[in-house]
Amino acid sequence: MPRITPQQEFDRLAALIAAHPAGIGLDAISQALDEPVKRRTLQRRLAALVEQNRIVTQGDGRSTRYLARPIGVAEPLPTYGRTDRSRAIAAATASISPEGEEIRAYVHLPRLQRRPVGYNLSFLEDYLPNQTAYLPQGLRDRLHAMGQSPSEQAPAGTFAKDILARLLIDLSWASSRLEGNTYSRLDTERLIEFGQAAEGKDALETQMILNHKEAIEYLVRDPERASMKPDTLITLHALLSDGLMADPSAVGRIRRRGVGIGGSVYLPPSPQQQLEALFDIVVQTAAEIRDPFEQAFFLMVHVPYLQPFEDVNKRVSRLAANIPFIRHNLCPLSFIEVPQQDYVDGLLGVYELNRIELLRDVFVSAYGHSCQHYVAVIRDLVPPDVFRLRHRRALSEVVAGIVRGGDAVTASTVRARIPSTVDASEQDHFVDLVLGEFKSLHAGNAVRFGLRPLEFAAWQEGNKGHA
């Protein structure tokens, strides 16, 4: 019985081929392998990878070259309607794709086995807004189905505003965690809501969390600020990097020195390579993309790849990715439940191979988890009672007057106390409002109407048969 080839050997072979974008021949593959493999065995493995659609061939006979499957030829993804949101979310939070596994296998190779690369300008130049698609149409349809606001016609930013208190905690914590911050979610909640810094934590970690809070509020509280302009991303950098840069003058400024990427063989462009112009091109390209999900993912790919700032580039890209969601009133992306290693590996795939599949897997999964957390929450939110809000002062006067006067709660006693500020055409509605308030009134919430517990208890005692 033939020996089963371990999956790891297939993964390493696929990663080796992926490291040669122009393709690689059989002999070159054989020489590059760590351990010798019989020619026939190697051919069988390559044929199996072709059959699995993980690699493709070019040419034939002795001139055959093997290449990683190009971006965009994945099998079409199913689309889902609005009524099938749970199925769409389940698909979005699925495991890493075979293409993503290839990238991960490559970036996990020792650095000496990975080819050093610099900034590839054609990676940006080859992207044509609304023609090139990192996210296939079927996937975009699925994401739209998941992230739609229950109130589609609401003004821009409504979805994010409605869940702002929760988003501030989740996004601040999750984005900081991807940078190695050790604050727990509970620590983050205490810091943001009560200003309590966690004990035993580095001050820089506390600053990182607070910087996220400021940057998120900047975008959400005034959606007009959430525009796709270079100045917006520079402002985000200034807010996110405040107090965290070795050189304070680098806060909110395109970098003026070279930088390296720890653990990577990728060397970002130097300032002499017209960094400011490239940054403007990246943002302008993003601004021309019509689909909000493609726009968000483009920023997650190209802002870290360019490294326009001395530090904090990934954080800028994660918050900037939320700009399209704010503007289109879609569920925001909080990066909760994103494994740090998957995210880092996805970026390394972009840096070293200019391949986006693994980062795309992370993006889609992250958005699915965000929708699980927020879409159900926002659907359960009770819409504000505009009538009650408009007559809250009159409501308080009538409720307090009835209790302090020791009156029974009837329609006639309520009507007798209606102030002149309530129009005659609205008085029936107002009476119903007051009667409804008394049905839920108790000693614990009577303070809303300026009533002391003893006052409420005395009224309750005197109206046992009527209240």
Question: In this structure, is residue 1 part of a structural domain?
Answer: no
Tokens describing residue 53? 């659609």
Q: How far apart are CA 453 and CA 424, in angstroms?
A: 33
Question: In this structure, is residue 333 part of a structural domain?
Answer: yes
Question: In this structure, is residue 152 part of a structural domain?
Answer: yes
One domain for residues 138 and 21? no
Predicted confidence band at 377 (pLDDT cuts at 50, 70, 90)? Answer: low
Tokens describing residue 467? 């209240």
Last residue of some domain: 380, 409, 424?
A: 380
Contact 263, 330 (CB under 8 A): no
CATH number of the domain within which 35 lies: 1.10.10.10
One domain for residues 333 and 409? no
Last residue of some domain: 380, 408, 429?
A: 380
One domain for residues 200 and 239? yes
CATH number of the domain within which 313 lies: 1.10.3290.10
Contact 128, 371 (CB under 8 A): no
Question: In this structure, is residue 2 part of a structural domain?
Answer: no
Question: In this structure, is residue 75 part of a structural domain?
Answer: no
pLDDT digit string (tens) for 89-131?
A: 555 545 789 999 999 999 999 988 999 999 999 999 999 999 9
One domain for residues 50 and 166? no
One domain for residues 13 and 154? no
Last residue of some domain: 348, 380, 412?
A: 380
Predicted confidence band at 79 (pLDDT cuts at 50, 70, 90)? Answer: very low
Which stretch of DSSP H or E encloses residue 165? helix 164-177
Helix 203-221 vs helix 230-241: angle between axes, to the nearest 10 degrees? 150
Burial (CB count within 10 angstroms: exposed 0-12, middle 13-18, buried 19+), residue 255: buried
One domain for residues 375 and 437? no
- Residue, of 91 and 458, whose pLDDT is higher: 458
Domain count, the chain: 3
One domain for residues 239 and 181? yes
Which stretch of DSSP H or E encloses residue 76? none
Cα dihedral: 32, 34, 40, 44 (round 10)? -90
pLDDT digit string (tens) for 286-315?
A: 999 999 999 999 999 999 999 999 999 999
- Residue, of 179 and 383, whose pLDDT is higher: 179
**Quick one: what percent of the chain has pLDDT higher than 70?**
89
Burial (CB count within 10 angstroms: exposed 0-12, middle 13-18, buried 19+), residue 159: buried
One domain for residues 120 and 14? no
| Rounded mean pLDDT, 380-391 | 70
pLDDT digit string (tens) for 180-208?
A: 999 999 999 999 999 999 999 999 999 99
One domain for residues 205 and 311? yes
Would you state the pLDDT for residue 1? 38
Question: In this structure, is residue 450 part of a structural domain?
Answer: yes
Which residues form the domain of 117? 82-380
Q: Range with the lowest mean pLDDT among 314-323, 328-337, 379-388?
A: 379-388
pTM over 0.75: no
Tokens describing residue 231? 């100045």
One domain for residues 358 and 401? no
| CA-based R_g, the chain, Å | 29
Distance of CA 41 to the CA centre of its chain: 44
Question: In this structure, is residue 404 part of a structural domain?
Answer: yes
Strands 55-58 and 65-68: antiparallel
Question: In this structure, is residue 31 part of a structural domain?
Answer: yes
Distance of CA 278 to the CA centre of its chain: 25
One domain for residues 339 and 247? yes
In the chain, the N- to C-terminal Cα span, in Å, equals 85
One domain for residues 190 and 111? yes
